[in-house]
A and B are shown apart, each in its own frame.
Chain A
Amino acid sequence: MTGQPLAATAHEVEHLRKRERRFLFSPWHLVLIPIAIAMLIPLVWMLVTSLQTLGETRQYPPTLVPHTLQWKNYSDVLRLAPFGQWFLNTTIVTVAVVIGNLLFCSLAGYAFARIKFFGREVVFILVLATLMIPFQVVMIPTFLIVRKLGLIDTLGALIVPNLAGAFGIFLLRQFFRTLPVELEEAARIDGASRLGVLFKIVLPLSGPALATLAVITFLWTWNDFLWPLITIYSPSHYTLQLGLTTFQGAHQTVMNLLMAANVMSMIPVLLLFFIAQRYFIRGIATTGLKG
């Protein structure tokens, strides 16, 4: 005969308590609904306009519901402007920069985190210092350097200077330092080289940090405007952000097509956001913590 079993451990009760839904409708909804509407109106309106005819856009009061959905606006954009080319350019640049950052910042971040080498502290401070300088201070000389390298008006101008950023080095260094150093020591005793330890032990454990870096770098590169504006001149080499600005005609802008183009330019980032929301949020929260 045994005593009575415990109904629930304290841990379970705490967990269940947290999941307890209070009211289905709370007064806070009255605050949140207007906020959500304000946030969504520009996006929804853009979407609606992208499916209207040009005539419908030039109406006042505005046409709230298009007569028919003009999906052909989207194909028109692809036809009338080198939109597909821009999309490709942006993709190439973004993917290259993300890969570059993941690779070079991992190597450097690991070196700063775990390897004692001559001048490590000084160099790290220098790297950090670049984080505090506004882009406008460096953009003119950087332009001149890129010009000297013959990269102006090529995708190289967008890729090469951004292949490794101080943000990534800092992020990964901090993360690597939180991993138990004993794991790496055990691997080295087992015969692995430093590089081997990095690739076989440390990086596999760094999934979240790498994902965060990838997502933030993707976002920043895809959305970048000022640097492409300065370095790219030929329409065939434009990125999406740059290309979108050319839709503004000298006379009246073709709004429905512009909106369709805008929607298309956002899709990859929005998709990535919905898939990897966690990492976006973590990435942004990390900038806050380091601050």
Chain B
Amino acid sequence: MSSHASTDQLTGRIGRSWSGRRRWPLVSATGGAVVTAAVLLPVIFLIVQAQQSGWNQVHHLLLRHSTAVLLWNSVRLAVACTLLCAVLGVGAAWLVERTDVPMRRMWAVLLVLPLGIPDFVVGFGWISIDPALHGYLAAVMIMTLSLYPLVYLPVASAMANVDASLEESARSLGLSPLRSFLRVTLRQVWPAVLGGCLLVTLGLLAEFGAFEIVQYQTFTVEIFTEFKLGFDAAAACALSLVLVLISVAVLGGELALSGRGRVFRAGPGAARAGTRTRLGRWRVPSLAALGALAGLALGVPVGSLVYWLTQGNSSTLPSTSILAAAGHTAAYSAAAAGIATVLAIPVCTLSIRHRNRLTILIERLSYLPMALPGLVIALGLVAFSVRHAFSLYQSSFELIVAYAILFLPLAVVGVRSAMAQASPRLEEVGRSLGSGPAEVFRRITLPLIAPGLGAAFALVFISSSTELTATLLLRPTGVNTLATQFWTYTTDFSYGAAAPYAGLMVLISAVPAYLLSRRMRTISRIGQGA
């Protein structure tokens, strides 16, 4: 195994070697370079802006007592939510993908949907149930319930792809179901678990809007204050660099946790679903748990939408076509999800198949957008395109690129776990039988990582469909999406008119979630037929 790793590293790093082998890494390297450039763009914007500020003022801001409090608020929220999301996400994924819990298809869709609900609806829903819901615990609960799909989705797709023969061997060697889960199943989906947790942690560092309603202030509040009330982009960017520093620490920590252990299948190349764990008398409690999770995460916000619909609608806003807005949202989100997923492939290929310091760095960099407030990334794109690519400024293309950059980390996490599970042996066999690198990728790698690609696509699609900040800044003038229309109506108190837009956002998010669940079923069927 170790000799293979070093051969990979050599071919990845050194230019000479067989000409045929060079082509494919070259494609990956190009993709990696594109990703690096795209991710560094907002970071460079930050540094350039921050340098224009009196660092004195930033010092002053950073050394305030309240800054320490806000940083502590951010950190303790991130830690608690990440742990809870890990437990809920892995638990739910295991129940749906690895047990005989009833109505699996329905759960597979419902459990993903909370990601597609605007923060505003979630916050509003909870506040209307209990107006006294404020502070740390409220923030932990609400954020956990809306972010756990970031863990659930990658882990579920990884579990669907888990090598059943390993689990069966473990059981046959006398391991209890629990120990076999911990030592075999969990180990195989570990990259997906860590990746999902990484997304939750970084996302929470940059999160802003959702906390306002439960009166929980985090470090990002300071950044927004500088932008929106002080019009001091320099100070805001300098403060954002603090988020970058924290993220570097988080990314380093995750790297250490992920270790160098290989998790790819030793056995057959094709996925084969093993026998699902029989829940037996745990069937009802398991159903109740899934029902409670979906009910809290989905039921509360959807409940507030239904309530809004029943309220009077006095809006005198010109009614724009809801279908046009839905069409824009679907098209932009699908395009962004496609681009982000495709860009994630070279990043993961490099960091897993050609692992060295440089490729690991590229992969780490690709997570940074998750930890930056959307406003920072959007303003960075404004500053860049207005000077260097004016014809693209405020075009559909630029908005799609913005989504792709913002949510690239989600795609990388989705692809990464699938790539880690796929055995490079099969690719080597393909090569030794005379196939070119492109053909090996198409016929061997792609089918193996397909569930991961699906998860990546779904995650980016759903997140893009609710994005507001970058959309307001970068959309073509006159174009509305579901999110911008929803915002327009809610800032005008027209909750009744706003509700259908939010409802449609949830429905649109259900499409990729549904397709993904079908796809994962197909895999299981193919496996069972084999």
Asked if A and B bind, the verdict is: no
Give me the interface of A with B, judged by CB distance under 8 Å. none
Give me the interface of B with A, judged by CB distance under 8 Å. none
